Structure 1
């Protein structure tokens, strides 16, 4: 989900709670079926598209890392233009190729295109590129509010789909030709996959691993992550914005004298999923902003993601550690526990709500 902006803190006071919509589910929408790899390739080519001006942190990093960890595909991060990609609400990375360079190198297109949520979900360059890739028979996977881009590319008309709880009613109203489903963490319908909120990126990525390489490979990858299952089962009803939540957003945001910067030192080989989940969560409290620090400039993660640190040192900031010991996916639970101790359970619950995660 795109991070609530300053203006939205005020607008939220007028936003009604999410109303119920269709929850009838076709028998196969939770099963992912992928076509054969395009001719001339030994294994699938996955392109994760990124808007340099703002792409959701976890939506991008989790699929990248899970697919790399499983070693079931060639994974490339593709940006609109050269230069850094600013992630939201935290971190900055370097993409592997621009759209122009990718198209020149791969005229037949990708096998799978992953579309994270973006700050500008109406960016015509991204929409046109995703539509173009779909026209070349790429499977399109939208994570969270990446569904806006898939919908605007015309890929969801006549299909079943889902998205983040906060956007659900609005996107359903804007695109009535789509059958919008609740109570499904991810939905697959004829070559297009959509997911619910930010943390759905982990089970959705594991579902892709299973579709690409089988159940055993997915189980082995899930075990490394510390994940027990990746089914599409999901209960949507608990995720809604209450008056208490709106009041808490306003209170935390307006208590500017309590705001703080939290530094996460990183070095080559860092756990990109643990970093993404931690930095993403800490930057949604309305009291804190997480940054990455390193004295050596750009830093490469364990699977080759190039991170551009926000600062060389963490002088004058509160320092955090990733503490990755029992599986990357547990980083969020650890972060929310630390957050509750620092800011209270209510703030931790607010962050979990934004991430569409059951704390």
Structure 2
């Protein structure tokens, strides 16, 4: 009885606040659609490639830094998966401290090393440091390490809201940059000297590159591969991923807080009695990029969450050496509570298939909420 009173009391409070909420929602813009991403001049694309070319080692060393208690799922896993399948650099997945990296909104990973162990093994620093979005922007160990790596000549790449972490380290001072649409104002308030560049998915300036939202990790890594190993290699990896295009074009105005977005999130949150937990089976050798997209997308609906399971509690190693720790072991998931990673499919196609599955289960409005969070412009138009 007391639990029932608590739940419905919470609903009552929500309803009492609806008048103010309604006014706020009505002040939001309607959905934006049909916006065209402006082309990127060839000179600008060439300048970005030039800025990203390796300058320290013949075979570059890439470090991906993660905060143990919450680092964005796709930001952390996708760069490792793409760069390792390209085999053009040595890639190390790091954690700020010992222990696993709990990703958000789903998955848990065993890092390759701590930042302290990395520094001991590579006192000269990395060639590139990839910075995902993290649960906090001002972790002292991460900030100090990023500054040190930059001083040692590492090129810094802030993925999605990882740009806020880069800004917190003072590495975007006076530079051109971008970030996830939702966190843009926050980043610019942190450092008012940053020159925001609209309509670009990737922005590079003096050794620091930043991207827009979560799915920009794909074009960012392909651009980095092209800078390291040439266009032909990047095209081969893009084909393996299922991508036809990976340039910097972006329609920034299509990604913002809108009335339909806010209303769908509210409706899905209020349906607290109808939360679903979906099982994702971990299999040795599975594609880690596809896994990241599936787990990330299903965990952003405000209706569901993806939970991994395996036969044993040991970590499961993916196709390119990412060690994923299962959330559950020996669980027999009901058939209607399993989600597919579309084994054998190309990662970009798997993302599209996952979004289609979410639309079937929850409707297009919820799928739009997911794509807005991922800042995903959708598949490239057919030529």
Settle same-fold status: TM greater than 0.5.
yes
Q: 2:212 aligns with which of 196, 220, 226?
A: 196
Between the aligned partners of 1:233 and 1:35, the Cα distance in structure 2 is: 20
Structure 1 unaligned runs (5+)?
Answer: 1-8
| Matched-pair contact (CA < 8 Å) for 1:45–1:110 | yes
Q: Secondary structure at the match of 2:344?
A: coil
| Matched-pair contact (CA < 8 Å) for 2:71–2:134 | yes
Indicate whether 1:354 and 2:373 are aligned: yes
Deviates most, 309-318 or 188-197 = 309-318
Q: 1:123 aligns with which of 126, 139, 156?
A: 139
Give the Å deviation of 1:17. 5.4
Indicate whether 1:72 and 2:91 are aligned: no
| Matched-pair contact (CA < 8 Å) for 2:290–2:341 | yes
Question: Within 5 Å, which residues of 2 pair with 1:334-345?
Answer: 334-345=353-364
Give the Å deviation of 1:215. 0.3
Task: Provide, for residues 273-298 of structure 1, a one-character-per-residue CA deviation record: whole Å limited to 9, x for no partner.
Answer: 11000100000001100011111221
Q: 1:328 aligns with which of 341, 347, 356?
A: 347
| Matched-pair contact (CA < 8 Å) for 1:265–1:314 | no
Q: Secondary structure at the match of 1:219?
A: helix
Question: Within 5 Å, which residues of 2 pair with 1:303-314?
Answer: 303-314=320-331
Q: Secondary structure at the match of 2:156?
A: strand
Indicate whether 1:132 and 2:148 are aligned: yes
Between the aligned partners of 1:95 and 1:347, the Cα distance in structure 2 is: 33
Question: Within 5 Å, which residues of 2 pair with 1:211-230?
Answer: 211-230=227-246
Question: Within 5 Å, which residues of 2 pair with 1:17-28?
Answer: 28=44
Cα distance change on mapping 1:68 and 1:333 into 2, 3 Å: same
| Matched-pair contact (CA < 8 Å) for 2:144–2:169 | yes
Give the Å deviation of 1:178. 1.1
Between the aligned partners of 1:314 and 1:235, the Cα distance in structure 2 is: 43
Between the aligned partners of 2:54 and 2:86, the Cα distance in structure 1 is: 18
Task: Provide, for residues 139-167 of structure 1, a one-character-per-residue CA deviation record: whole Å limited to 9, x for no partner.
Answer: 00000000111111111112110000111
Give the Å deviation of 1:358. 2.4
More helix by share: 2
Question: Could you say which residue in structure 1 is the equivalent of 2:259?
Answer: 243
Between the aligned partners of 1:313 and 1:200, the Cα distance in structure 2 is: 35
| Matched-pair contact (CA < 8 Å) for 1:17–1:240 | no
Cα distance change on mapping 1:91 and 1:111 into 2, 3 Å: same
Question: Could you say which residue in structure 2 is the equivalent of 1:6?
Answer: none
Between the aligned partners of 1:142 and 1:34, the Cα distance in structure 2 is: 13
Structure 2 unaligned runs (5+)?
Answer: 1-13, 30-37, 379-383
Cα distance change on mapping 1:313 and 1:358 into 2, 3 Å: farther
Question: Could you say which residue in structure 1 is the equivalent of 2:68?
Answer: 52
Q: How many residues align?
A: 345
Cα distance change on mapping 1:300 and 1:312 into 2, 3 Å: same
When the two chains are superposed, the root-mean-square deviation of aligned CA atoms in Å is: 2.3
Q: 1:233 aligns with which of 249, 257, 267?
A: 249
Between the aligned partners of 2:375 and 2:196, the Cα distance in structure 1 is: 17
TM-score, scaled to structure 2: 0.86
Between the aligned partners of 2:364 and 2:208, the Cα distance in structure 1 is: 37
Cα distance change on mapping 1:200 and 1:36 into 2, 3 Å: closer
Between the aligned partners of 1:131 and 1:259, the Cα distance in structure 2 is: 42
| Matched-pair contact (CA < 8 Å) for 2:131–2:159 | yes
Give the Å deviation of 1:37. 4.3
Question: Could you say which residue in structure 1 is the equivalent of 2:177?
Answer: 161
Give the Å deviation of 1:316. 4.8
Question: Within 5 Å, which residues of 2 pair with 1:8-47?
Answer: 28=44, 31-32=48-49, 33-38=51-56, 41-47=57-63
Question: Could you say which residue in structure 2 is the equivalent of 1:4?
Answer: none
Between the aligned partners of 2:219 and 2:333, the Cα distance in structure 1 is: 37
Task: Provide, for residues 260-312 of structure 1, a one-character-per-residue CA deviation record: whole Å limited to 9, x for no partner.
Answer: 10001011101101100010000000110001111122100000000000011
Q: Secondary structure at the match of 1:52?
A: coil
**Higher gyration radius (CA):** 2
Question: Within 5 Å, which residues of 2 pair with 1:277-316?
Answer: 277-296=293-312, 297-316=314-333
| Matched-pair contact (CA < 8 Å) for 1:197–1:355 | yes
